[in-house]
Amino acid sequence: MELDSLLVSVKRLFELLRTRQINYLLVGGVALLSYVEGRNTEDLDLIMVSSTLKKLPEIHLTSQEQYFARGDFEGLKIDILLTRNPLFAHVLRRHTTTRSFLDGEILTATVEGLLLLKLNALPSLHRQGDFTRVSLYENDIAMLMYQYQPDPAPLLKDLSKYLTGGDLEEIEHILVEIQRRIDNFRNQSSLKKE
């Protein structure tokens, strides 16, 4: 899909969501672009209540599972995270902000909301052996942590409600490693400036 037609489809989709009063939240790579530079993405990720999908026949669903759906809107690929998943519902309720996007205001996940979603996905991606997506997600987390310096303690507390002990422990280790890399980078940068 060419960029111009992609942007037109994205604008039409958000206008459709607004006029139909659909509760949604922009997450994923496009949301991340509103916070940091340098992230490429091939689709649009939204959190939505599953019942609202019936109000959007323009989105042709290509697959639907318990917590996820995938669809197409005018050639635009859309991944939908369904609020049947308690963490997705939590992010929709508690981690929403408005960001400028394509000459308008779009409901977007906060930095903390994006971090919760990325961190939550990592243990499963590790088990699947999906090195490419693990690397991408860890890089997204590192960029957000570097630029916004959120306190990881509330994130871990939130995640403890939704993950088992082993997965939570793995996430703690990942956060420690990312913070170590950030600290090393900052130290090296400050030494070069001196």
pLDDT tens, position by position, 82-122: 999 999 999 999 999 999 887 889 999 999 999 999 999 99
Average pLDDT value for residue range 120-149: 95
Whether pLDDT at 1 is above 60: no
Bridge partners, 98 (sequence order): 107
Q: What is the dihedral of CA 69, 24, 149, 131, to 10 degrees?
A: 10
**What is the distance between the terminal CA atoms of the chain, rounded to a whole angstrom?**
47
Bridge partners, 117 (sequence order): none
Q: Are 98 and 107 in contact (CB under 8 A)?
A: yes
pTM of the model: 0.92
Note the CATH architecture for domain 3-109: 2-Layer Sandwich (3.30)
Give the pLDDT score at 188: 87
115-130: per-residue pLDDT in tens?
999 999 999 999 999 9
Q: Is 105 helix (H, G, I), strand (E, B) or coil?
A: strand
Bridge partners, 108 (sequence order): 26, 97
* Tokens (6 digits) for 183: 């600290």
Residue 80 CB neighbour total at 10 angstroms: 25
| Kind and range of the H or E run holding 61 | strand 60-64
Domain span(s) for CATH 3.30.460.40 in the chain? 3-109
Q: Is residue 183 exposed (0-12), middle (13-18) or buried (19+ Cβ within 10 Å)?
A: exposed
d(CA 65, CA 77): 16
Residue 28 CB neighbour total at 10 angstroms: 22
